[in-house]
Amino acid sequence: MLFENLWTLENAAALVTLTGTPREDAGPPLSPAHRHPAGGRGLRKAHRKGLHRLRHGLFALRGASQPQGAQGIGTLNRRDGPHRVHPSPHASRAAMNSAPARDVRRLCRAGRCWTGEDGVYLDGEDTYDRQSACGPMNVQGLWILSEIKDIEVIASGRGVHIGRYLERHYGPERWRKMKGIAVVQLGDGTTCEAEIYWYEAHGIGRRDFKIKRLIR
Amino acid sequence: MIEYVVCINNKDNPASLIVGKIYRKLPDPEAEAHHMLRILDEDLSEPDGYLYPASMFLPVNLSDETKKLLMAVGI
């Protein structure tokens, strides 16, 4: 009875999204016959698996801070699919936009990307590094045409002046204020090198890019 | 002559700007030639402000008394 209750709890964690609605593609719940035959060890493993799902569910909550029009990730069972899917280290947004829709949906379910107004976005802190290696990227309205160089940390933690706004919009994390130099395209189409500032946090990525000064 | 603008679009910088809030515009002729404005945004640790597209703001006319009050609170 205890096993069945715990097993039901784990299945519920796997099948229910953060919003509390069942996933449409999750399929029927697993039967108790699929329980690990090793008894207690399997139970502990299942418990760890449940915690893993809950933990990734919390990560998926950050999807609420994605750009307007973006669809949330909203799934807890990252490991339950037929494949454990992760984009390759060389994945780019351009490649994702040309990928089959089925693969994109699979990655969205795995919490590795999301779709928005401008196509597919990759998740993770190194998203923009991957994009910069693949050509121009539009980062929150700012066109960055080159890799960002001379990156420096200006402030971190409580030293970030707008930390409360960052936490409100993107989530509570240890935010860092960064700066670097890159070639950008301005609103009138002019291309020039500029000193750009942004804020970044582990697991969320780089946000709120803005130009400090034009260099040339 | 201190000028103020009101933010009408913070889609790209939701943590640095608040829609409907009045910000001080700092003089930067070079940036304005590229349709950019130098704005003293929420990050008051940078007294030089940042460059934003002019399309994100509208100019507002404030009385001298209002400007004095805003300057007194650091805006």
CB contact under 8 A, A197 and B50: yes
CA distance B72 to chain A (A): 20
Mean pLDDT of chain A: 63
Percent share of chain A, pLDDT over 70: 35
B39-65 pLDDT, tens digit per residue, is: 999 998 889 999 999 999 999 999 999
pLDDT confidence of residue A165: 93
Indicate the pLDDT class of residue A93, thresholds 50, 70 and 90: low
Long-range own/partner contacts, residues A22-31 (CB < 8 A, 24 or more apart): A23/A75, A23/A77, A25/A109, A26/A77, A26/A80
A2-22 pLDDT, tens digit per residue, is: 445 544 444 444 444 344 444
CA distance A61 to chain B (A): 18
Number of Cβ pairs < 8 A linking chain A and chain B: 71
Contact yes or no for A214/B30 (Cβ under 8 A): yes
Nearest CB among B34, B43, B50 relative to A188 is that of: B34
Q: Residues of A at the B interface (Cβ-Cβ below 8 Å)?
A: 67-68, 140-142, 155, 161-162, 165-166, 168-170, 186-188, 190, 194, 197, 199, 207-214
Distance CA A33, CA B21 (A): 60
Other beta carbons within 10 Å of A131: 21
Contact yes or no for A203/A125 (Cβ under 8 A): yes
Q: Is 0.80 topped by the overall pTM? A: no
Contact yes or no for A132/A147 (Cβ under 8 A): yes
Cβ contacts of residue A177 below 8 Å, gap of 6+?
A: A153, A154, A155, A156, A159, A160, A161, A197, A198, A199
Nearest CB among A166, A199, A212 relative to B50 is that of: A212
Between A204 and A128, the higher pLDDT residue: A204
pLDDT confidence of residue A66: 41
pLDDT confidence of residue B18: 95
**What does each C-alpha distance from A196 to A90, A151, A215, B43, B50 come to in angstroms?**
25, 10, 10, 14, 9
pLDDT confidence of residue A71: 35
What residue of A is the nearest CA neighbor of B50? A212
CB contact under 8 A, B36 and A187: yes
> Average pLDDT of A101-119?
55
pLDDT confidence of residue A143: 84
Between A136 and A93, the higher pLDDT residue: A136
Provide ipTM, 2 decimals: 0.92
Distance CA A113, CA A109 (A): 8
Residue B72 has pLDDT above 50, yes or no: yes
Q: Which of A7-11, A61-65, A179-183, B68-72 has the lowest mean pLDDT?
A: A61-65
Nearest CB among A169, A187, A214 relative to B14 is that of: A169
Alpha-carbon dihedral angle through residues A93, A99, A101, A106, given to the nearest 10 degrees: -70
Reported as type and span, the H/E element at residue B70 is: helix B64-72
Secondary structure class of A30 (helix, strand, coil) = coil
B11-48 pLDDT, tens digit per residue, is: 889 999 999 999 999 999 999 999 999 999 999 888 99
Contact yes or no for A113/A121 (Cβ under 8 A): yes
Distance CA A79, CA A139 (A): 30
